[in-house]
Structure 1
Amino acid sequence: MSRSLWRHRDFMVLWSGRTLSETGDAISLLAIPLLAVTVLDAGALEVGVLTATRMVAYLLISLPAGVWVDRWPKRMLMVICLLLRAGLVATVAVGAWFGWVTMAQLWIVALLSGVCTVLYETAHHSLVPTIVAPDQLLDANGKMSTTYSVSMIAGYSVGGALISVMGVARTVGLDALAYLGNACSLLLIRRDEPARAEARERHFRRELAEGFSFVFRHPIMPRLVAAAATLNLFSQMIFALSVLYLVRVLRLSEGQVALTLALITIGGVTGGLVSGRLARVVGTARIIWAAPLGLGWLVLLVPASRPGWGMATYTLGMAALSALFAIYNAASISYRQRVCPPELLGRMTASVRWVIFGVMPLGALLGGALGSWIGVRPTLWIAAAGVWASGLWVLLSPLRWMRDLPADTAGKRNEEAIQVG
């Protein structure tokens, strides 16, 4: 039986620092779109572009990020990214305070912050397996998923209260302090990273190709990537229009928007808490298609919502989506980390995230464009149906007949694939 992570000092330090910055993220995710909608009078397309610019970095630098993460010290790279993100968010707070903030500034800050986020997240997913044992990964990723949802609740709740007291403009800057706190926590981790191999001459294209080779010659992983990409594409259409939908269609106040977004994350908390046990009971292969198909239909409650009682149905539908993400991510990330050789973790993570996160700015732009063309509610109907259908990639594959993913067999096959490629 694996040692409890509650007594694992380095994991607890990593976990607590990430929790702090994710709470700050939630404040910004609430405050900045509200700033755009209520202060700058942004429309559906402008809000969609704002969301897209935050995500477009996954298309631009995810692949080289994997090579850099495998070459450079991961913790120091994460610290640098956090410091840069703190500075970028601070410029929005200063601009909002003095009244010269513009949509162009928000787009630029979102783009540059996205670059830092890609590097930070790639390094984080590669760092976790060096801190905890392989049999602790499912527990560790489940805790991270749960904490993300708890942080969203705290951030939205605190953010809503602060917006009511301080105004939406002045609330943004608190995210910068959260990033600084996370950077300090990373410096407290005692465990040294494994030494990086220096046996052969560096070759950027070859190193990049090894990550792709591992992922797309794998007998299982391409199916998981396709399902996750579909889920992200359609869910991002929903997220891009969320604040606009709540404010202008369901006619909620700023405080009600904050409360709704906080309640939604209860689904993520629940999903994160049960993800490990559910995967063991249902099966680590089955849970990947059972989560979107079993919970995805509830997302249809989002476009079905109406002013008045709509806050309740919207919250239930989005909470189901939040739980879906927590359950799916805990199982799929843990599997990828276990079957991947340590020296390829960064490039494997980057290759997967280039696809599954690379579709997110496309989803945001598509949501904004369709919202302007056919209306917000019809766009949400299309997106909700797409979220449910994402599970079909796995259901209509050989994984349908498997209970658990064959980690050992897959790992051996892919080591051979890397040698051939």
Structure 2
Amino acid sequence: MADENADGSPAATPPPARSAVSALMFSQGVSVAGTQVTALALPTLAILLLDTGPLAASLVFALEYGVQGLTGPFAGVLVDRVAARRRLLVAVDVIQLLLIATVPLAHAAGALTLVQLYAVAAVSGALGGVSAIAVPTVVADFVPAEGLVAVNAKLAGARSVGQIAGPGLAAALVQAVGAATAMVADAVSYGLSALAMSLPRLRRGEETKQAAARPGLAESLREGIDVLRDQPLLARLAVAAAALNLGGAGLGGLFAYFAYQVVDLGPGELGLTQAVYSIAAVTAVITAKRVIRRVGLTRVIPVFGPLAATALFLIPLASLGAALPVLIAYQLAFGFCATVWGVSWVTLQQQLSPPEQLGRVLGLSRSIGQLVMPVGALLGGTLAGAVGTTGALAVFASIALAGTLAVVTTRPQSARPGASRA
């Protein structure tokens, strides 16, 4: 998909930028696919090999997202302080490779413990947060403002491909060679990602770029908070994302149970609905640039967020009848609207944040959104026991809708002078 100017005419992308975008797309796709292996392997090892209960196994998930949320603001400070951010991405990938490799090595030596699984989940989650903040910051370093939507959509597409291919790869590997050995594939994926990011040159003089003056940690965090305070749209977007994540985590934890036990779907039918979500997400990636250009970046946000949240109500409505068609409609609507919303959110953060503080804005916003995910996942079962599965699904959908409606009344803002990078 070629880049275009605002008037729809083709826009030339400099060869270094094209190679950098390609490297980022490969890096994102392969690492996301590899991460799916570890996401399945860690709880599998905890449950089947170490014989833990459901609470201990769920802590693997909670630690990964909880630690990522807690360390997000500090990761943002780190990203803003590092001059060569691409080198940071390579370093994080190498550390991830070494970290993941400790699990199959410990298993082979007969020394694998639950404490090690928890440590791997926590540290890997924190490192993943650094990468998630650094990638859009690297993009904003070398992509002109008018090209941000297109590049963000391409990266979202690469991640979608990884998310589509990853679960099948993970299941096949875990079945074929065992959970611990399967994690070698994730370690290899980080190695490939590091290699890809080591090859392109983003722009002339990148390696000798000097970092800005470094205030203290507390002052650095305060500067990021000041940006969110001065830009109400960014603050409300963080709240909306947190609401979607909270509702989505609660719904996600109950979705399979609802499908099997409440509306009596089979595994094949459940898999079909998930495949439809992937198709909708990829369609959104392909069309996001055109949709955002036609609707307007600041108008996409207050429309597509609530639409995505409204689609969540189709899940409990499936209990009234025609469950499969209703759940397919949910996956179509949510997959498309949430993906377009996500691309728009990242682009607005890049455009509205001062360049030297973008990492902190991303870190603080991600922290707000990540910390609610383990809360939502753990609350899902508790709430379902109190009001029933269908009632709990409706409550979580209502939370998501209320949060996304917070941005509807926000007055659109323009990018700060100097915020976009040429």
Give the alignment's TM-score, normalised by structure 1. Answer: 0.82
- Is 2:16 the partner of 1:3? no
Q: Is the 8 A contact 1:264 1:316 kept in 2?
A: no
Q: Is the 8 A contact 1:79 1:186 kept in 2?
A: yes
Note the 1:10-29 alignment, pairs <5 A: 10-29=20-39
CA shift, 1:235, in A, is: 0.9
Give the secondary structure class of the aligned counterpart of 2:400. Answer: helix
Give the alignment's TM-score, normalised by structure 2. Answer: 0.82
Distance 1:84 1:204 in 2: 24
Of 354, 363, 366 in structure 2, the residue corresponding to residue 341 of structure 1 is: 354
CA shift, 1:370, in A, is: 3.3
Note the 1:134-145 alignment, pairs <5 A: 134-145=145-156
Of 104, 109, 128 in structure 2, the residue corresponding to residue 117 of structure 1 is: 128
Of 77, 83, 88 in structure 2, the residue corresponding to residue 77 of structure 1 is: 88
Of 406, 409, 418 in structure 1, the residue corresponding to residue 413 of structure 2 is: 406
Distance 1:82 1:21 in 2: 9
Of 242, 246, 258 in structure 2, the residue corresponding to residue 233 of structure 1 is: 246
Q: Which residue of 2 aligns with 1:330?
A: 343
- 321-330 vs 295-304, which moves further: 295-304
Q: Which amino acid aligns with 2:12?
A: R
Per-residue displacement from partner, 1:141-186 (whole Å, max 9, x unpaired)? 1111122112111112333443454455543331111111101111
Q: Is the 8 A contact 1:48 1:367 kept in 2?
A: no
Q: Which residue of 2 aligns with 1:67?
A: 77
CA shift, 1:51, in A, is: 2.2
Q: Which residue of 2 aligns with 1:298?
A: 311
Q: Is the 8 A contact 1:164 1:255 kept in 2?
A: no
Unaligned runs of 5+ residues in structure 1 are: 400-404, 416-421
RMSD of aligned residue pairs (Cα, Å)? 3.6
Distance 2:265 2:34 in 1: 23
Q: Is the 8 A contact 1:160 1:259 kept in 2?
A: no
Q: Which amino acid aligns with 2:59?
A: V
Of 285, 301, 304 in structure 2, the residue corresponding to residue 272 of structure 1 is: 285
CA shift, 1:267, in A, is: 2.3
CA shift, 1:374, in A, is: 5.5
Distance 1:178 1:82 in 2: 9
CA shift, 1:389, in A, is: 3.2
Cα 1:41–1:312 change in 2 (3 A) is farther
Of 56, 67, 74 in structure 2, the residue corresponding to residue 57 of structure 1 is: 67
Q: Is the 8 A contact 1:302 1:314 kept in 2?
A: yes
CA shift, 1:349, in A, is: 1.5
Q: Which residue of 1 aligns with 2:183?
A: 172
Per-residue displacement from partner, 1:35-57 (whole Å, max 9, x unpaired)? 55677777664554332211112
Q: Is the 8 A contact 1:233 1:363 kept in 2?
A: yes
Of 276, 291, 301 in structure 2, the residue corresponding to residue 288 of structure 1 is: 301
Give the secondary structure class of the aligned counterpart of 1:85. Answer: helix
Instruction: Give the aligned length.
Output: 405
CA shift, 1:240, in A, is: 3.9
Q: Is the 8 A contact 1:48 1:241 kept in 2?
A: no
- 12-21 vs 33-42, which moves further: 33-42
Distance 2:419 2:160 in 1: 33
- Is 2:212 the partner of 1:195? no
Cα 1:76–1:398 change in 2 (3 A) is closer
Q: Which residue of 2 aligns with 1:321?
A: 334
Distance 2:117 2:262 in 1: 24
CA shift, 1:195, in A, is: 2.5
Q: Which residue of 2 aligns with 1:154?
A: 165
Unaligned runs of 5+ residues in structure 2 are: 6-10
Calculate percent identity across the aligned residue pairs. 28
Of 407, 415, 421 in structure 2, the residue corresponding to residue 394 of structure 1 is: 407
Of 207, 231, 235 in structure 2, the residue corresponding to residue 218 of structure 1 is: 231
Q: Which amino acid aligns with 1:61?
A: T
